[in-house]
Amino acid sequence: MKEETMTFKVINDEGKEVECEVLFTFESDETNKNYIVYTDNTVDEEGNTKVYASIYNPNEDENKLLPIETDKEWKIIETVLDELQNEALNNNAES
């Protein structure tokens, strides 16, 4: 069974429309905010896929992505990313 990929479009810094793929969303009990983690499927100099995160309100029809401005919020996102990466590595190791 193929998972359906959720995508959305953003305007980048150069004014070009870019399609992004939603990796996952989550709500933090600590901040009471919803976060979206996504990628435009580009890679950095080391060959790693670039991943971005923003705050969003899932109850709005027109989702606006808001910047993450505190180190605490970035730490929460990094922790979730690490947990998901470790889970994926463990699942691959068991296969």
For each of the chain's 95 residues, which pLDDT tens digit applies? 556 789 999 888 899 999 999 999 999 999 999 999 999 999 999 998 999 999 999 888 777 899 999 999 999 999 998 998 888 888 877 76
The reply to whether 85 falls in a domain is yes
The pLDDT, as a whole number, for residue 85 is 85
d(CA 79, CA 43): 22
The pLDDT, as a whole number, for residue 27 is 95
Which domain covers residue 34, as residue numbers? 7-94
The reply to whether 90 falls in a domain is yes
Which residues are bridge partners to 34 per DSSP? 27, 56
Q: Total structural domains in the chain?
A: 1
d(CA 68, CA 82): 18
Contacts of 9 (CB under 8 A, 6+ apart): 17, 18, 19, 20
